[in-house]
Every structure is written in C-alpha cells, then in structure tokens.
C-alpha cells in the first residue's frame, strides 16, 4: 500500500529536524512513533509512551483543545498551533506544533504526524518583552530610544502626551525635533557620554513640544548595547518637572518678597525702638523725680508701680532693638577679659533683692574663670536666665547657679525647681518669638529673651542648651571658650 502525506503548513519548513519532536499517532490519538527529541523535551522514553494516548502530555484544559484538533485532522485538515504541555517531571513547556494527516492511496487518513518545537524560552522572552512594553506604554515618563546618530526609534504614549507628536510623526525623525536651537550643544555632549558607555543621570533641561511650548524636564539617558556588548544607541527617560519648576519659581519670588518684608519690618523695629526710647527715658526721669518728691506720700506707691512697668517697657524696647541688630548682622561686641565668678556674684546679689520668694544660691568653685567676652552682653544673658528661673519657679524654692571650667570651656548653669518645659519644646525655646506650650504659656513674655541670649552666646563661639522635666524644673547651660588668664593669653 502506498501512503500519501498531505501537504504540510508552510511554517513547518523552518523546523530543525534534529531538534524537533516527531510524533506519529494513529487515528485514535495513540502514539505509534516517538523520536529522540521527543524524549529530550517531554522526558518520556519511547518505551514509556508507545501505545498510550497523546493526551498524557496535556492538562485537562489543553487536552480538550487537543481532542478537537485531532477530530479536524481525521477530517483531513492541517493544523499549526501553540499549546501548553506537561513533561514527565510535571514541568510545563510551551510547544509549537505543525500537525498534518497521513493518507493512503484512496485519500483516507491512516495516521497523524506531529512536529513539535519547544518554544518555552522564546515565550518567556516574549512575555518579558510584553510586560516591559506595557510598563513603557503606561509610564508617566516619556521613554524614547534613538540611534547614536540621533534618529528616534521608539516613542511611548507619555512622549506623545508631553511633546504632542505621535509615534508615527516622531519615529524616524532626528531627536533635535524636541531640542530648542539654543540647547543643541547638550545633545552633542550627551551622545559623547553615551559613546563612552556613561549614563547621564537626572539632567535638568528644557525641551520643546509640537505646539512650540517649552517643557522643563529631568532626563536620564543610558546606553543601549547589542548582544556583543557594542553600544548601538541610547534610551532616554524624560520626566516633566514643569509644575515643580513653576513651584520653585513661585517659592523663589515668595522668599524674596518675605525677605523684603522682613527687611522693612527690621527697619521699622529699629526706627520704632529709637523713637520710643527717647520719650520713655523722659517719662522715667520725671517719674523718678516725682517719686523722690513724694517719698513720704502714701500715693507714691502708684508711682513706684508705674516706674516698674515703664522699666519693663524699656526692657522690651531694648530686646526688640537687639533682635533687629541680630537679624541685620549688626550685633556689636566689645570683648574684654574678665573673671566669670565675679560677674555671677554681682548679678546674683543684685537679683536676690528683687525676689523674696526664692533663694538664689551661687555655688563657687575654687580658681578664677577667665573669659574674653563682652561683659555687658554676658550680663544680659545671665540676667535673662535668672529672671526666667525666678518667673517659672515655685515659691520658696532655691535657684542654683554654678560655674566651672571643663575642657578649655567655662560652663555656667542655672537650675530651678519650677514648672518645667515639655520635651517637644526644648529644642525650640531658643527660636525667635517662640512661646512654650502648656502651663508656661500663661506667663507673660515676648519670646525673644532666650533667642537674644542664644545669639549672644553663639557670637562668642559658645553653646547654649537646656534640660527639663515637667513639674521637676529646668537646667539652662551655656559655655564660652576659656581665657588662660586676665591678659587673655
């Protein structure tokens, strides 16, 4: 009997006979031939599969598809398809089959020939490329590739959104399509870097859209290499930062305006402080004269209270003037060498006269503590720290002042047993106009005393800090570089 093989599908011509699985089935789908490549791909030996159904290679879903194909083959049809098979080890493989019926002289189908090509690796590559293509197409960043000659080869959806040109309009054109004339030199430098195998990372520039409008971009350009490692092009990722650039410009304008307003404010504070100081000095002088005249008059207590409030106002004016000087960088220092213990003893004795509810204790260590500093300004710092300790301390508690030399620094501390400062406020108490939260906020104050003290200490090359616990009190410290002796040497 002579058998006639039906004409095969044209795609089977590409199969490599030494690599392809060749399987022959009878008309019921039973395996009657199984070559070496089939053994290699599916893991079954010829002995294991001979006489068994071809369906052993398929899971249920794909077995149903295979049955339908077999039915069409028995009717004489040729099939070419891709499907999923299962190996003996239960691993999944993807096979591209070319299948055709074998007929006898009378045209009857007597067997079925299957030629299978393992495309598992290629399918995985295709899936990865498909996922990558989906990521590229869905990206909010323009992703463009080009040759080393600058010819655009790919153009994603975001590139169309940002620049206005469709892929059909952009691909094949030179990359200068989106580069303003004044920035063409940038492209030359970028290509030079790419040819050297270097990546251009987050380069901020300007590109032009189809409608002529400018786009502020952050671009990253990387080399594209072939399978041999040769650089054949460049991939560009461009992120539109126009909104950010506009926000930065608005912030710059806003900052400049704030600086201008701050300057006007400082000038006003200086002017107001000077203008207020003169009449206030006259008022204080007249009140003091009136107090001396009415010394025996019981009504003099009202004058005393008025003088006290006027002195507070004078202190506030002085503080505001100091803030303005600090902000303008005009706080002048007149350093001299003096002994810190002497200054502390003088100040603590003086302030003790202002409070009957607290005992100010100055703990003196042996030895002189020489510093080269502005004595008047340091007096201002110490008075401020002690005044705060008195204000925020509980009645009939001690305020302890201590000074010592440590590591070429003169360290001064002021301890009180007062209401304490919340931990979240500790780092901010030296900021300008900062007011502590909680119960401390019920006390009067301008919020500039500690700021001025901090700036004075820092301008001397020193440090200032605080420690505190709610209900337990606070410790304020400052340090200054020590002078070796009364000559400052």
Digit-by-digit pLDDT tens for the chain (489 residues) are 333 444 333 333 344 545 899 999 998 999 999 999 999 999 999 999 999 999 999 998 888 888 888 888 887 788 888 999 999 999 999 999 999 899 888 888 899 999 999 988 888 877 777 777 776 776 888 889 999 999 999 999 989 999 999 999 999 999 999 999 999 999 889 999 999 999 988 889 999 999 999 889 999 999 988 878 899 999 898 888 877 777 777 888 878 888 777 776 666 666 666 566 667 777 877 888 887 888 778 877 788 788 878 777 777 777 666 777 777 677 788 899 999 999 999 999 989 988 888 999 999 888 899 999 999 999 999 999 999 999 888 888 899 999 999 889 999 999 999 888 888 888 888 887 777 765 554 455 556 889 889 999 999 999 999 999 988 899 999 999 999 777 655
Instruction: Judge contact between 344 and 317, C-beta under 8 A.
Output: no
- Within a domain: 487: no
Whether 342 and 471 share a structural domain: yes
Q: Please, what's the b/e burial string for 51-88 (b: 16 or more CB within 10 A of its CB; e: otherwise)?
A: eebbbebbeeebbeebeebbeebeeeeebeeebbbbee
3-state secondary structure of 164: coil
Whether 342 and 322 share a structural domain: no
The pLDDT score that the predictor gives to residue 30 is: 94
Whether 319 and 368 share a structural domain: no
Of the three residues 327, 356, 375, the one that is the final residue of a domain is 327
The pLDDT score that the predictor gives to residue 403 is: 95
- What are the phi and psi torsion angles at 151 (to 5°)? -85, 130
> What's the CATH number where 161 sits?
3.30.450.20
- Within a domain: 245: no
> What's the CATH number where 320 sits?
1.10.287.130
* Structural domain boundaries, residue 183: 139-240
The pLDDT score that the predictor gives to residue 1 is: 36
* Strands of 138-240, DSSP E: 142-147, 152-155, 200-208, 214-225, 231-240
Whether 474 and 399 share a structural domain: yes
- Within a domain: 131: no
Instruction: Judge contact between 136 and 153, C-beta under 8 A.
Output: no
Query: Residue 386 class from Cβ within 10 Å (0-12 exposed, 13-18 middle, 19+ buried)?
Result: buried
Pick from 148, 139, 133: nearest CA to 238: 139
Instruction: Judge contact between 165 and 208, C-beta under 8 A.
Output: no
Q: Which two tokens stand for residue 306?
A: 């008025």
Whether 144 and 166 share a structural domain: yes
The pLDDT score that the predictor gives to residue 287 is: 81
Instruction: Judge contact between 371 and 408, C-beta under 8 A.
Output: no
Whether 300 and 376 share a structural domain: no
Residues in contact with 206: Cβ distance below 8 Å, sequence separation at least 6, in sequence order: 180, 183, 214, 215, 216, 217
Whether 362 and 281 share a structural domain: no
Whether 263 and 170 share a structural domain: no
pTM over 0.75: no
Whether 113 and 166 share a structural domain: no
- Within a domain: 8: yes
Residues in contact with 323: Cβ distance below 8 Å, sequence separation at least 6, in sequence order: 269, 432, 448, 451, 452
Separation between Cα atoms, residue 434 and residue 448, nearest integer Å? 7
How crowded is residue 391: how many other Cβ atoms within 10 Å of its Cβ? 15
Q: What is the dihedral of CA 239, 240, 243, 248, to 10 degrees?
A: 60
- Within a domain: 488: no
Whether 308 and 346 share a structural domain: no
Instruction: Judge contact between 55 and 63, C-beta under 8 A.
Output: yes
- Within a domain: 128: no
Whether 322 and 352 share a structural domain: no
Instruction: Judge contact between 139 and 155, C-beta under 8 A.
Output: no
- Within a domain: 133: no
Q: Which two tokens stand for residue 237?
A: 């990722």
Separation between Cα atoms, residue 329 and residue 322, nearest integer Å? 10
Pick from 158, 148, 231, 244: nearest CA to 197: 231
**Residue in this structure with the two tokens 């008047």, named with its chain if needed:** 376
**Residue in this structure with the two tokens 């006290």, named with its chain if needed:** 308
Number of structural domains the chain divides into = 4
Q: Interhelix angle for 340-352 vs 375-392, to 10°?
A: 40
Residues in contact with 68: Cβ distance below 8 Å, sequence separation at least 6, in sequence order: none
Q: Which two tokens stand for residue 34?
A: 């199984």
Of the three residues 207, 240, 273, the one that is the final residue of a domain is 240
- Within a domain: 447: yes
Whether 231 and 288 share a structural domain: no
């Amino acid at each position: 009997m002579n058998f006639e093989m039906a004409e095969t599908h044209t795609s089977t011509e590409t199969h490599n006979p030494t690599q392809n699985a060749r399987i022959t089935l009878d008309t019921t789908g039973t395996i009657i031939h199984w070559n070496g490549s089939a053994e290699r791909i599916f893991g079954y030996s010829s002995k294991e599969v001979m006489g068994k159904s071809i369906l052993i290679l398929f899971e249920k879903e794909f077995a149903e598809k295979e049955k339908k194909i077999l039915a069409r083959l028995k009717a004489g049809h040729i099939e070419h398809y891709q499907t999923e098979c299962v190996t003996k080890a239960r691993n999944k493989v993807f096979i591209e089959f070319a299948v055709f019926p074998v007929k006898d002289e009378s045209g009857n189908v007597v067997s079925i020939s299957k030629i299978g090509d393992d495309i598992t690796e290629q399918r995985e590559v295709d899936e990865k490329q498909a996922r990558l293509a989906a990521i590229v197409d869905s990206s909010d960043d323009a992703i463009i590739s080009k040759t080393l000659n600058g010819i655009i080869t790919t153009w994603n959806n975001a590139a169309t959104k940002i620049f206005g040109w469709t892929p059909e309009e952009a691909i094949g054109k030179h990359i200068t399509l989106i580069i303003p004339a004044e920035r063409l030199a940038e492209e030359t430098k970028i290509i030079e870097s790419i040819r050297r195998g270097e990546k251009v990372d987050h380069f901020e520039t300007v590109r032009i859209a189809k409608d002529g409008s400018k786009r502020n971009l952050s671009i990253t350009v990387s080399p594209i290499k072939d399978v041999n490692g040769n650089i054949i092009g460049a991939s560009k990722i461009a992120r539109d930062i126009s909104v950010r650039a506009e926000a930065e410009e608005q912030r710059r304008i806003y900052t400049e305006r704030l600086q201008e307003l701050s300057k006007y404010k400082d000038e006003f504070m200086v002017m107001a402080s000077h203008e207020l100081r003169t009449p206030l000095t006259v008022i204080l002088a007249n009140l003091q004269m009136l107090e001396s005249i009415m010394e025996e008059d019981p009504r003099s207590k009202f004058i005393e209270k008025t003088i006290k409030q006027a002195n507070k106002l004078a202190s506030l004016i002085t503080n505001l003037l100091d803030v303005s000087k600090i902000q303008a960088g005009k706080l002048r220092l007149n350093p001299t060498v003096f002994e810190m213990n002497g200054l502390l003893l003088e100040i603590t004795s003086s302030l003790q006269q202002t409070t009957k509810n607290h005992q100010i204790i100055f703990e003196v260590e042996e030895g002189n503590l020489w510093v080269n500093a502005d004595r008047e300004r340091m007096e201002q710092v110490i008075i401020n720290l002690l005044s705060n300790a008195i204000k925020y301390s509980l009645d009939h508690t001690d305020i302890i002042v201590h000074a010592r030399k440590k590591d070429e620094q003169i360290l001064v501390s002021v301890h009180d047993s007062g209401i304490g400062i919340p931990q979240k406020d500790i780092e901010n108490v030296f900021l300008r106009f900062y007011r502590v939260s909680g119960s401390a906020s019920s006390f009067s104050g301008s919020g500039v005393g500690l700021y001025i003290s901090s700036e004075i200490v820092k301008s001397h090359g020193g440090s200032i800090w605080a420690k505190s616990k709610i209900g337990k009190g606070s410790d304020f410290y400052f340090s200054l570089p020590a002078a070796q002796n009364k000559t400052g040497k």
